[in-house]
Amino acid sequence: MIHLENIAKSYVNGDIRVEALKNIHLHIEKGEFVAIMGPSGSGKSTLMNILGCLDVPSSGVFTIHQQRINDFSEVELAELRNQTIGFVFQTFHLLARLSVLKNVELPMLYRGVSPKERRKRAMELLGKVGLSDRLQHNPSQLSGGQKQRVAIARALANDPDIILADEPTGNLDTMTSMEIMDILSDLNKQGVTIILVTHEEEIATFASRVITVRDGNIIEDTKDALTSEGLS
């Protein structure tokens, strides 16, 4: 479903050129649960941004559902992010001035869903993540774990195929992290493809596949290991 071929990404800041990603080949099937690991500065977030169509690669071919994302216009990219991808961020990225309910409604607002339907769906999703009693709260009145659950509800608003989570438990304690991971696991069981970045082995164990990145290269992929083991 997701296919990266020869993907490179470099940042140029004046004279300094940073090769954040060098030569990435990656194929992710529908329904996979992928954990991306690697040291700080290795390029994990850069990779996630490209997967999330928030950033464009410097070179290489990137397809989702066989569509070449490289050729997408900004409007098409926005629609893709809106309907095919759901984001969960380390720092939650909720809109501070909107209620929990409005935050979850937002992706549907941009898709043009009617107010009534939006509300219904947002309440349903917030119920699923156990926040039915916090609908009118502001994000600032919530705990970290609750905020992340709102973010997950928002990510699910338009029923996406893929959820991208860049260190979703990075700002949470172990207990809360486990709750969040349970929610993501459940979603994966319902068929949502999940790609998450983490530094913690414990979190990575929830995934069925672990990719290790270093210096802009994928240096290890448990799926390859499995297949090569299977071959040998």
Partner 1 sequence: MNLTEYFKLSLDSLRINKLRSFLTLIGIIVGVGSVITVVVIAHSGQEGIIDAVTQDGKNVFYVYNSEPNGIYGSRAALKLTDIDLLKRKLNQEVLISGVNVGKVEVRIGKDLAYMDVQAVSAAYYHMTKNMDIMSGRFYSESEERSIIKGIVVNQVMAEKYFSNAENAVNKKILLNNIPFSIIGVYKEPTFLGMGGDSLTSYMSLALWNRLTDNTQGNITALQIKVINEDIDLHAFMDQTIATLAENHRVPKEQYMTQSVEQTEKIVESVFGFLKILIGSIAGISLFVGGVGVMNIMLVTVMERTREIGIRKAIGAKPLDILIQFLIEAFLLTFIGGVLGVLLGVGIAFLITRLLDWGFVMSWSIVGLSFIITTLIGLFFGIYPASKAANLNPIEALRYE
Ligand X SMILES: Nc1ncnc2c1ncn2[C@@H]1O[C@H](COP(=O)(O)OP(=O)(O)OP(=O)(O)O)[C@@H](O)[C@H]1O
Per CB under 8 A, residues contacting partner 1 are: 49, 52, 54-55, 74-75, 78-79, 81-83, 87, 89, 93-95, 97-98, 106-107, 109-112, 115, 154, 158
φ, ψ dihedrals at 64, nearest 5°: -125, 130
Residue 41 CB, nearest approach to Mg ion (Å): 8
Write the CB contacts of 66 (distance below 8 Å, at least 6 apart in sequence): none
- Binders in 25-84 for ligand X, by CB under 6 A: 38, 40-46
- Which of 160, 145, 168, 222 is CA-nearest to residue 193? 160
Query: How does DSSP classify residue 159?
Result: -
Residue 200 CB, nearest approach to ligand X (Å): 12
90: contact with Mg ion by CB under 5 A: no
Residue 42 CB, nearest approach to ligand X (Å): 4
Show the site string, 22-61: x = touches Mg ion by CB under 5 A, - = not: -----------------------x----------------
Query: Under a CB-based contact definition with an 8 Å cutoff, are residues 148 and 156 in contact?
Result: no
168: contact with ligand X by CB under 6 A: no
Measured CA distances, 205 to 33, 182, 189 (Å): 10, 12, 15
* Antiparallel, parallel or unpaired: β 67-68 and 33-37: unpaired
Write the CB contacts of 6 (distance below 8 Å, at least 6 apart in sequence): 23, 24, 25, 59, 60, 61
Residue 89 CB, nearest approach to partner 1 (Å): 8
169: contact with ligand X by CB under 6 A: no
* Antiparallel, parallel or unpaired: β 162-166 and 193-197: parallel
Query: Under a CB-based contact definition with an 8 Å cutoff, are residues 1 and 64 in contact?
Result: yes
Residue 106 binding: pick among Mg ion, partner 1, ligand X, none (C-beta 5-8 Å cut-off by kind): partner 1
157: contact with ligand X by CB under 6 A: no
Residue 91 CB, nearest approach to Mg ion (Å): 11
Give the residues lining the site for ligand X (CB under 6 A): 11, 13, 18, 20, 38, 40-46
Residues near Mg ion (CB under 5 A) = 45
